[in-house]
Structure 1
Amino acid sequence: MSQQQTKNSITLRGSAQIICEYLNFAINSVLFQRGLYPPETFKAQQQYGITLLLSEDALIKNFLKNLLTQSEEWIVNKKVSRLSLIILNVANKEVLECWDFNVKYEEGDVELSKEKKETLGSKDLKKIQQEIRDVMLQVAATISYLPLLDCRCSFDVLVHAKPDCNIPDMWSEAEPVAISNAQNVQLKSFSTSLHKMETVVSYKLMD
């Protein structure tokens, strides 16, 4: 008997879910590490072979759930180019920091997609998770040399989507964000073979 070699396959939906799962952990990690909310409001969870922290605050959980559920649909349909987590000074609304999560669209496994008649990737899930772990470790390391946020801060997330997207009722149009006197740090990227995620943090140099 000959055992047929079967490839790993990942669907567009599965890939978009991996991207949004990363975004959830990455945004939570920034909120925790930058001290926007008390540490006791976060709960540790094992993911990608490391310990990460997720907010237990109901408002934050609901905000991110709604944001990422909608973003997943748009990513499946190639409607999103970037999500931006912005950190603002509560007193004057000045943007102090911006975490850009850039989404690039890749072809996947062309032969497998042709055979199965749908767009598929064949990258090993363990390999993808290792790449995400490396990015998450870099997020934590990068935070250690960012300027201290010595004022009350809040956050928002902007979704850079195509104009033909139907915007949900609770959402609003936002102006582009600019940070004066900004420094940029490019983090490692990861790829599912269908989507590539590049993470860049821009921050204001404090006087």
Structure 2
Amino acid sequence: MLVTDDDKLNDFFTKFLHQLSNWLLKGEVQKLVLVITGIETQEVLERWAFEVHADNGTGESGNAPASKSKKEIMAEIQAIIRQITASVSFLPILEEQCAFDLLVYTDKNSEVPALWEESDPRYIKDSAEVRLRSFSTKVHKVDAMVAYKNPEADI
């Protein structure tokens, strides 16, 4: 886990997470994407996508969704964190200094803060993709995937 004492970065994350939380509570988030870009080349090297499916209150059978305990939810989240951590075994080493960007796909009618701007999806040309474990809470189901620059595409 990365910890920062950079006040500007901490302020950014505080504001970002506050806005994300508001959208999640309203069921307006469709996808959250973390993009890692090479500073020198401006090339997208990794794209971590988390698709968010808000539970509309009914399960597949039309009944209320099965209730999960907090312990079960935490176990699923811990499993995906372990999988993300283990991804260093297959992801290419990042050879240059990198920057990150966070993209949030929301409903079209969502209110967006004035300082936020629209972005292209920042896809990776000739990418390799790995689907990660999904997890669900009582409110959301999250499907995760990482795309990365395929080192064999340059050969």
TM tier relative to shorter chain: 0.7 to 0.9
Report what 1:3 is aligned to: none
Q: TM-score normalised to the size of structure 2? A: 0.86
Spell out the pairing of 1:53-132 with structure 2 (5 A cutoff). Answer: 55-108=4-57, 122-132=67-77
Looking at structure 1, the residues matched to 119 and 39 of structure 2 have their Cα atoms a distance apart, in angstroms, of 17
Shift of 1:63: 1.6
Deviations 1:24-66 (A, max 9, x none): xxxxx4xx4xxxxxxxxx3xxxxxxxxxxxx333222222221
| Equivalent residue letter for 2:137 | T
Using structure 1 for the length normalisation, give the TM-score: 0.66
Between structure 1 and structure 2, the one with the greater Rg is 1
% identity of equivalent residues: 34
Name the SS of the counterpart of 1:87 in structure 2.
strand
Q: Which residue of 2 aligns with 1:145?
A: 90
Q: Residue 172 of structure 1 corresponds to which residue in structure 2? A: 117
Question: 1:182 is matched with which residue?
Answer: 127
Q: Is 1:156 aligned with 2:101? A: yes
Note if 1:136 corresponds to 2:88: no
Deviations 1:143-170 (A, max 9, x none): 2320010011100100011221121122
Q: What CA distance in whole angstroms lies between the structure 2 residues aligned with 1:127 and 1:80? A: 23
Query: 1:15-30 alignment to 2 at 5 Å?
Result: 29=1
Q: Any idea what SS the aligned residue of 2:11 has?
A: helix
- Give the alignment's Cα RMSD to 1 decimal: 2.2
Contact 1:109 1:122 in 2 (8 A): no
1:79–1:165 contact (8 Å) kept in structure 2: yes
Which structure shows the higher helix fraction?
Answer: 1
- Structure 1: gaps spanning 5 or more residues: 1-28, 33-41, 43-54, 111-118
Of the two structures, which has the highest relative contact order with CA contacts closer than 8 Å and spacing of 6 or more? Answer: 2
Secondary structure of 2:133's counterpart equals strand
